[in-house]
Amino acid sequence: MANANGGSLPTGSEKAEKLKESANVAFQARKYATAISLYTQAIELCNSNAVYWANRAFAHTKLEEYGSAIADATRSIEIDPEYVKGYYRRGAAYLAMGKFNEALKDFRQVCKIVPKDPDATKKLKECERAVQKIRFEEAIASEHVKSCTVVDFRTIDVEEAYSGARIEGDKITLEFVKTMMEDFKNQKKLHKRYAFQILHEVKELLAPLPTLVNVNVPNDTHITICGDIHGQIHIHFLEYFDLMNIFDLNGLPSDENPYLFNGDFVDRGSFSAEVIFTLFAFKCLYNSGMHLSRGNHESKSMNKMYGFHGEVKSKYNESMAEIFSELFCCLPLAHVLNKRIFVVHGGLFSRDGVKLSDIRSIDRFREPPDEGLMCELLWSDPHPGLGRIPSKRGAGVAFGSDVTQKFLEENNLELVVRSHEVKEEGYEEEHGGKLITVFSAPNYCDQMNNKGAFIKFVAPKLKPQFTKFVSVPHPNVRPMAYANNIFSWLS
Q: Where are the alpha helices (DSSP H) in 144-219?
A: 174-185, 192-206
AA letter at 483 = A
For the ranges 212-216, 268-272, 409-413, the lowest mean pLDDT is seen at: 268-272
Higher pLDDT, 342 or 308: 342
Whole-Å CA distances, 446 to 261, 278, 345, 366, 450: 21, 22, 22, 32, 10
pLDDT digit string, tens, across residues 431-455: 999 999 999 887 766 566 778 899 9
Q: Which CATH architecture has domain 12-142?
A: Alpha Horseshoe (1.25)
- Asked if the model's pLDDT at residue 480 lies above 50, the reply is yes
pLDDT digit string, tens, across residues 292-329: 999 999 999 888 888 899 899 999 998 899 999 999 99
Q: What is the pLDDT of residue 366?
A: 94
Length of the chain: 491
Concerning whether 297 is annotated as a catalytic residue, the answer is: yes
Catalytic residue among 191, 230, 297, 345: 297
pTM for this entry: 0.86
Across the chain, what does the average pLDDT equal?
87
Fold match between domain 12-142 and domain 148-490: no
pLDDT digit string, tens, across residues 104-116: 899 899 989 998 8
279: confidence class by pLDDT, cuts 50, 70, 90: very high
Helices 100-113 and 84-96 meet at what angle, rounded to 10?
Answer: 160
For the ranges 125-129, 456-460, 466-470, the lowest mean pLDDT is seen at: 125-129
pLDDT digit string, tens, across residues 2-58: 444 444 445 678 999 999 999 999 999 888 999 999 999 999 999 999 999 999 999
Domain boundaries, the chain: 12-142, 148-490
Task: Name residue 424's beta-bridge partners.
Answer: none
Q: How far apart are CA 336 and CA 355, in angstroms?
A: 13
Question: Which residue from 229, 220, 291 is spatially nearest to 255, judged by alpha carbons?
Answer: 291
Q: What is the DSSP string of 351-362?
A: SS---HHHHHT-
Report the CATH fold assignment for 148-490: Purple Acid Phosphatase; chain A, domain 2 (3.60.21)
Peptide bond into 382 cis (omega under 30): no
Strand (E) or helix (H) holding 46: none
Q: What is the DSSP string of 361-417?
A: T---SSPPPSSSHHHHHHH-EE-SSSSEEE-TTSSSEEE-HHHHHHHHHHTT--EEE
For the ranges 169-183, 225-239, 338-352, the lowest mean pLDDT is seen at: 225-239
